[in-house]
Amino acid sequence: MAKAQTFADKVNKAKLAGIKSCPACGDLYSFLKRVEPVKKDNGKFGFSEVIVRYCKCNEKEVTGI
């Protein structure tokens, strides 16, 4: 049976893995893939994918919720 990880174990594992935290609030970053429509030169539409990292500080700006 596997040992259940506590939140502190997960945070320490993330710090060891090199996942950075926000300098303002100290929260670990979460990642979100944003897909935006882009009009191409030939008049057709395509999609642009951007991975955005966010935390408590800018969550409302990124997600819009």
Tell me the whole-structure pTM to 2 decimals: 0.52
User: For residue 58, what pLDDT is reported?
Assistant: 83
Based on C-alpha coordinates, what's the Rg of the chain? 17
User: For residue 18, what pLDDT is reported?
Assistant: 63
Q: What is the pLDDT of residues 12-56, one digit of tens each?
A: 776 666 667 788 888 888 888 989 999 999 999 999 999 988 888
Domain residues of the chain, as ranges? 20-63
Structure tokens at 11: 């945070």
User: For residue 38, what pLDDT is reported?
Assistant: 93
The answer to whether 62 and 32 are in contact (CB under 8 A) is: yes
The answer to whether 59 and 32 are in contact (CB under 8 A) is: no
